Amino acid sequence: MADSHSQLAGKTAIVTGAAGGIGSAIAAAFARDRMFVIGLDADPRVHSVLQPMKGVGVCGDLTDASVSQSAIDEAIGRTGRLDVVVNAAGIQKRTDAIDISDDDFDQLVAVNVSAAFRLVRQATKALSESKGSVVNIASLSADRAVPGIVPYGATKAALTQLSKGLAVELGQYGVRVNAVAPGYIETPMTADVLGQAEFRAAKLARIPLQRFADGDDVADVVTFLVSDAARYVTGVVLPVDGGYSIT
Ligand SMILES: NC(=O)c1ccc[n+]([C@@H]2O[C@H](COP(=O)([O-])OP(=O)(O)OC[C@H]3O[C@@H](n4cnc5c(N)ncnc54)[C@H](O)[C@@H]3O)[C@@H](O)[C@H]2O)c1
Burial 93-129 (b: 16+ CB within 10 A, else e): beeeeeebeeeebebbbbbbbbbbbbbbebbbebbeb
The number of C-alpha atoms within 13 Å of 226 and in the hemisphere containing its C-beta is 34
CB-ligand 1 contact for 108 (6 Å cutoff): no
Average pLDDT on 207-219 reads 98
- CA dist., res. 88 & res. 86, Å (int): 6
Per-residue pLDDT tens digits for 10-65: 999 999 999 999 999 999 999 999 999 999 999 999 999 999 999 999 999 999 99
- State mean pLDDT over 88-98: 98
DSSP 43-78: STTHHHHHGGGT-EEEES-TTSHHHHHHHHHHHHHH
Residue nearest to atom 40 of ligand 1 (CA): 90
Whether residue 52 lies inside any domain: the answer is yes
Q: Would you say residue 212 has pLDDT above 80?
A: yes
CA neighbor of 177 nearest in space, from 216, 225, 140: 225
The residue range of the domain holding 160 is 6-186+215-231
- The overall average pLDDT reported for the chain is 97
pLDDT band at 3 (very low <50, low <70, confident <90, very high): confident
Q: How far is the CA of 82 from the centre of ligand 1 (A)?
A: 22
In a domain, 191, yes or no: no
> pLDDT of 141-157, one tens digit each?
999 999 999 999 999 99
The per-residue pLDDT for 4 is 75
Based on the residue annotation, tell me whether 184 is a catalytic residue of this protein: no
- CATH code of 152's domain: 3.40.50.720
Residue whose Cα lies nearest atom 41 of ligand 1: it is 90
In a domain, 238, yes or no: no
pLDDT band at 6 (very low <50, low <70, confident <90, very high): confident
Q: Is the CB of 212 under 6 A from ligand 1?
A: no
Residue 33 CA to residue 53 CA, distance in Å, equals 11
Determine, yes or no, domain membership for 58: yes
15 inside domain: yes
Residue whose CA lies nearest to ligand 1 atom number 36: 17
pLDDT over 90 percentage in the chain: 98
> Rounded CA gap, 148 and 2, in Å?
46
Would the CB of 179 count as within 6 Å of ligand 1?
no
Instruction: Check if the beta carbon of residue 15 is closer than 8 Å to that of residue 86.
Output: yes
- Best probe residue, ligand 1, of 187, 218, 237 (max atoms within 8 Å of C-beta): 187
* Percent of the chain's residues with pLDDT above 70: 99
Residue 247 lies in a domain: no
Burial of 205 (0-12, 13-18, 19+ CB in 10 A): exposed
Cα separation values, 49 from 35, 71, 103, 241, Å: 15, 16, 30, 25
Instruction: Supply the DSSP symbol for 180.
Output: E
In a domain, 194, yes or no: no
111 close to ligand 1 (CB < 6 Angstrom): yes
Residues 6+ apart with CB under 8 A from 172: none
pLDDT band (50, 70, 90) for residue 5: confident
Looking at residue 204, its pLDDT comes to: 97
89 lines ligand 1 (CB under 6 A): yes
Q: Quick check: CB of 188 below 6 Å from ligand 1?
A: yes
How far is the centre of ligand 1, averaged over its atoms, from the C-alpha of 113 (Å)? Answer: 12
The confidence score (pLDDT) of residue 1 equals 63
Whether the pLDDT of residue 187 is over 80: the answer is yes
- Confidence band for 2, pLDDT divided at 50, 70 and 90: low
- 244 domain-assigned: no
Domains: count for the chain = 1
pLDDT tens by residue, 114-143: 999 999 999 999 999 999 999 999 999 999
